[in-house]
Structure 1
Amino acid sequence: MSDASEEIFMITTVNPATGETLADHEELDGAGIEERLARAASGWRGWRETPLEERAGLLLRLAGAYEAHKERLARQCTLEMGKTLKSAIAEVEKCAAAFRHYADNGPAMLEPLRWDLAGGGVAEGRWLAQGPVLAVMPWNFPYWQVARFLAPTIMAGNVGLLKHASSVQGSARLIEEMMGEAGAPPGLFQNLPIKSGAVNGVIADDRVVAVTVTGSEGAGQAVAEQAGKCLKKVVLELGGSDPFIVMPSADLDEAVKQAVTARIQNTGQSCICGKRMIVHADIYDAFLDRFTVAMGEVTAGDPFDEATDMGPMSSFEQRDTVLGQLAMAKAEGADLTGGAALPGEGAYMGAGVLTGVDPDGPMAREEIFGPVAMVFRAADIDEAIRIANATPFGLGSSVWTNDEGEKERFVRDIEAGMTAVNRFLASAPEAPFGGIKRSGHGRELARFGLHEFMNLKTVLLNG
């Protein structure tokens, strides 16, 4: 019998559409983690001195690699977490767009700042890299979540370490492969196939300067606690229970259409898509009738089939979590249409609509990470805003109105990091992304995401 210290542990990935094992990935032991941390520290010392135009060139080559291999990347993602192939391809293309955005605009974002001093002389602000940044990423957008951390990391002159979700380790390995194809130097980006229990040790290592987390509230709390103990910067993008508010002046057909898209995108497993539909009393019945019919027409099935609207849930465990929430809602007196587990071997469930949920009750404060919407009636704009804010989360929001006064009220008074007006809320490389309250803090994307993990050094000069 081998010594326990030599035992090899595996991280297993499973196809949620069939329940079949896809692969076993060897988990890093302590020596393996140390080797990659040392490589990151060594790689950063060289990368921080790389000219901005060379960093931009790498990003452009990386975009090209993603585009050249988008079908392969997308297929792996679909196999591991169940999203439709067409949406997986769109995700890969979005990553390429982010790499190009930072290649084209990143150098200008890093131009020194300059201020004249009242007492004479000037001050400059220089953007300087800091070192290895650890990213703890989820399974729902295996490539995009990483790209919005990786693109600014490369441009900033930092290096990246990825602790990806166990269920998408094949996708994580492909990201490493794309970096190699683009010609990234050793240590610039490395995947750490580790489980959650090993994360604290990586955060505590002196070579790691900061942490970024996208995931559940619990994951964010655990990482933030360790980062706080180590006095390290952390950016958190956590859960959301986004309000989707519809007022009488809105285009009702378009609002219904986008509400359905919000709830079934990625089989409802998206942090920023509308989950709580808050509808003015004057149009509540009309909205609910059309929305319920449309949700009932959603097809769940083979994610490789072009005709499929949504694939399986990412895992049987995730489906069971959502089904448990629905059972709780019904026990509290809510009515559920649809939203049941579907027969067959995969982790499938149908789209559903919950009504009669107490807006001040426990269920209204939950994030349903699946294809089920809660629909609330609001007497007026004041009640709509009150219901929207009656949640511990504050990530995104979407409002539908053609009244200019109402638009301004919503933008000012909804407690969220983002508000979309008469459109579907989505992230974009050009705009900052992030939330408030228990949805986290800090920002990703745009110039703000680039600057989060950089040292803004003040330099005082005589003239």
Structure 2
Amino acid sequence: MTTELRRLRNYIDGEFREAADGRTTEVVNPATGEAYAVAALSGPADVDAAMAAAQAAFPAWRDLVPAERQKVLLKIADAFEVRAEELIAAESENTGKPLALTRSEEIPPMVDQIRFFAGAARMLEGRSAGEYMEGMTSIIRREPIGVCAQVAPWNYPMMMATWKFAPALAAGNTVVLKPSDTTPASTLLMAEIIGGVLEELGHPKGVFNVLCGDRETGRLMVEHSVPAMASITGSVRAGIQVAASASKDVKRVHLELGGKAPVVVFEDADIAKAVEDISVAGFFNAGQDCTAATRVLVHESIHDEFVTALAKAAADTKTGQPDDEDVLYGPLNNANQLQQVSGFIERLPSHAKVEAGGHRVGEKGYFFAPTVVSGLQQDDEIIQHEVFGPVITVQSFSDEEQAVGYANGVEYALASSVWTKDHARAMRMSKRLDFGCVWINTHIPLVAEMPHGGFKQSGYGKDLSAYGFEDYTRIKHVMTSLG
């Protein structure tokens, strides 16, 4: 007897709708490896409908005073708190994440970030008006961009959706958001909640829309004539494709792409503290985090001691089912990702040594053991390319100069950390490390007030902070004659 799968539908103009042509795709729970739903597979007609709804809603939403948009966002944040357990359940089904950690580590920052952007809506600052030409006064207007096409990833479906819609709506834009085809459930629940708030407060239904679909759906969104901005969090390959597609009609682009964060541990570091924090920051969310502490560079004088301690920490780290409160992380998100992570280990060069893990866990779901690999060289594949799994690599360095060279010697430039008791060294390293974020004696904390974004192939534009908010605005010069 076959159980009928739940149906996940697009959210367009305040309504849940099947794909116009009826196409669907299966959605799999990565903790079981079994399908639990079918989601709409959106095509051109669905993209047209969502863009039309967002475009129609834009003038009224744009013209609201910031205080009114703030009210909406604050009410959304409150509603997310009230329905937190529903969101947690949907996110765990999406991703296999531990319920307890999703409750403690994702809901509170999401709510806080929405409230931050609610306040930011009322704090748009610009240069003061003035006379820069005789008889003329110049002023600066900061305005919303228009309709934003946004694509969120599968590693943090709720969190990354929040990073996108909150600043966009706060600035006065309207949104068409596509979650990953593997993780649509929690985003659609968010749409239901947001839509309810918009309706309750009497605002246009098309302010926030969600399209389910695959890469082709995302391409159709980015290439559509309506959006003025395309924003994506995803792989470097996806970012390059989005930038190329958006260039055809000169859309603004916001890209948060891959990472390969160096974690530079000097000989004077507190080894026990560093190992404890780095293991959590490397294995959390199964290492499926662009800022994960997965590329450790250790001074040669403490290398062996550090590796031994890190391997023990890995052996003590547990992965398992979402309802197990003792686990640090759940499964990899999908079968392809499991294959990718396994492939990196299978292709390790002969000089590499697997100190811990290096294998799949169980036959059900996509679980992978906490893994530590040592003996690596700078040009090895696993050093140069993003694994996006619970795998921490370790290299040794001889001095500060070599540490900087190894750290910067990749194409990614999102995040990094330095571990030392020497303040001057920490300041030198923070200047020389070519990454959008440098943590000192910690790794991975984020706050709404500070920007998150990288350089090089990690993309451009900022999430969070006033800088992230400003990315969703445009600047207009207005000059008036005093005569």
Sort the TM-score into its range (normalised by shorter chain): over 0.9
Aligned to 1:57: 71
1:432 corresponds in structure 2 to 451
The answer on 1:348 being equivalent to 2:367 is yes
Cα distance 1:436–1:50, how it changes in 2: closer, same or farther (>3 A)? same
Asked whether the 8 Å contact 2:179–2:187 carries over to 1, the reply is: yes
Pick one of 200, 207, 215 that aligns with 2:226.
207
Letter of the 2:291 partner, please give it. I
Counterparts of residues 311-350 of structure 1 (less than 5 Å): 311-329=330-348, 331-337=349-355, 338-350=357-369
Offset from partner CA, 1:351-390 (integer Å, 9 cap, x none)? 0111111113333201111111000111111111111011
Q: Which residue in the other structure is 2:166 paired with?
A: 151
* Change over 3 Å in CA distance of 1:409–1:112 after alignment to 2: closer
- Give 1:269's aligned amino acid: Q
For residues 130 and 119 of structure 1, what CA distance do their matches in structure 2 show? 28
Q: CA deviation at 1:345?
A: 1.1
Distance in structure 1 (CA, Å) of the matches to 2:350 and 2:143: 53
Moved more, 70-79 or 183-192: 183-192
Mapping of 1:261-280 within 5 angstroms?
Answer: 261-280=280-299
Partner of 2:56: 42
| Deviation larger for 98-107 or 366-375 | 98-107
The equivalent of 1:124 in structure 2 is: 139
SS at match of 2:120: helix
Equivalent residue number for residue 141 of structure 1? 156
Shift of 1:328: 1.3
Q: Normalised by the size of structure 1, how large is the TM-score? A: 0.95
Question: What is the CA–CA distance in structure 1 between the aligned matches of 2:414 and 2:353, rounded to whole Å?
Answer: 27
**Alignment match, 1:98:** 113
Residue type of the partner of 1:355? Answer: S
Partner letter of residue 65 of structure 1? A
Contact 1:43 1:187 in 2 (8 A): yes
Q: What is the match of residue 86 of structure 2?
A: 72
SS of the residue aligned with 2:206? coil
Unaligned runs of 5+ in 1: none
Give the secondary-structure state (helix, strand or coil) at the position aligned to 1:339.
coil
User: Partners in 2 of 1:311 and 1:300 — Cα distance?
Assistant: 5
* 1:81 paired residue number: 95
- CA shift, 1:51, in A, is 1.2
Q: In 2, Cα distance between the equivalents of 1:344 and 1:195?
A: 27
Give distance in 2, aligned partners of 1:437 and 1:223. 16
Given that residues 372 and 391 in structure 2 are in contact (C-alpha distance below 8 angstroms), is that contact kept between their aligned partners in structure 1? yes
| 1:6–1:43 distance in 2 versus 1, CA, 3 Å | closer
State the 1:115 CA deviation: 4.8
Gaps of 5+ in 2: 1-18
Aligned to 2:13: none
1:118 is displaced (CA, Å) by 4.4
Which aligned segments of 4 or more residues in structure 1 are displaced greater than 3 angstroms? 115-122
Distance in 2 between residues matched to 1:399 and 1:319, nearest whole Å: 30
Aligned-residue offset at 1:249: 2.2
Match of 2:267 in 1: 248
The SS at the match of 1:419 is: strand
Alignment match, 2:185 = 170
Equivalent residue for 1:8?
22
Secondary structure of 1:114 counterpart: coil
Give how far 1:37 is off: 1.2
Distance (whole Å) between structure 1 residues aligned to residue 118 and residue 389 of structure 2: 35
Alpha-carbon offset, residue 462 of structure 1 = 4.7
How far is 1:112 from its partner?
4.5
The Cα shift of 1:169 comes to 1.2
AA partner of residue 469 (structure 2): L
* CA distance 1:6–1:82, shift in 2 (3 Å): closer
Conserved? CA contact 1:152–1:449, under 8 Å: yes
Structure 1 counterpart of 2:35 = 21
Name the TM-score, length of structure 2 as normaliser.
Answer: 0.91
Distance in 1 between the 2:137 and 2:447 partners?
Answer: 36
Is 1:70–1:93's contact at 8 Å kept on the other side of the alignment?
Answer: no
2:98 pairs with 1:114 = no
SS of the equivalent of 2:302 reads helix
8 Å Cα contact 2:47/2:217 also seen in 1: no
Q: Are 2:277 and 1:258 aligned?
A: yes
Q: CA deviation at 1:332?
A: 4.7
Amino acid at match of 2:179: H
Q: Shift of the alpha carbon at 1:346?
A: 1.4
Separation of aligned partners in 2, 1:68 and 1:459: 44
1:160 equivalent in structure 2: 175
Alignment check: 8 A CA contact 1:211 1:233 kept: yes
After superposing the two structures, state which structure 1 stretch, 29-38 or 73-82, moved more. 29-38
3-state DSSP of counterpart to 1:147: helix
Greater mean alpha carbon deviation, residues 343-352 or residues 111-120 = 111-120
Cα distance in 2 for residues equivalent to 1:421 and 1:29: 46
- 1:260-293 per-residue CA deviation (whole Å, 9 max, x = no partner) reads 0111110110011211110111221221111110
Aligned counterpart, 2:478 = 459
SS at match of 2:177: strand
Q: Give the CA deviation at 1:104.
A: 2.3
1: distance between equivalents of 2:415 and 2:137?
40
Given residue 198 of structure 1, which amino acid in structure 2 is its aligned partner? T
SS at match of 2:122: helix
Query: Shift of residue 299 of structure 1?
Result: 1.0
SS of equivalent residue, structure 2 residue 157: coil
Query: In structure 1, how many angstroms separate the alpha carbons of the residues matched to 2:82 and 2:333?
Result: 26
Q: Quick one: distance in 2 between partners of 1:420 and 1:72?
A: 34
2:424 counterpart letter in structure 1 = G
Counterpart residue identity of residue 333, structure 1: H
**Contact 2:20/2:43, CA 8 A, preserved across alignment:** no
Check whether the contact 1:156–1:454 (CA below 8 A) recurs between aligned residues.
Answer: yes
How many corresponding residue pairs? 457
In the alignment, the residues of structure 1 paired with residue 380 and residue 155 of structure 2 have an alpha-carbon distance, to the nearest angstrom, of: 28
- Conserved 8 A contact 2:319-2:331: yes
Match of 2:237 in 1: 218
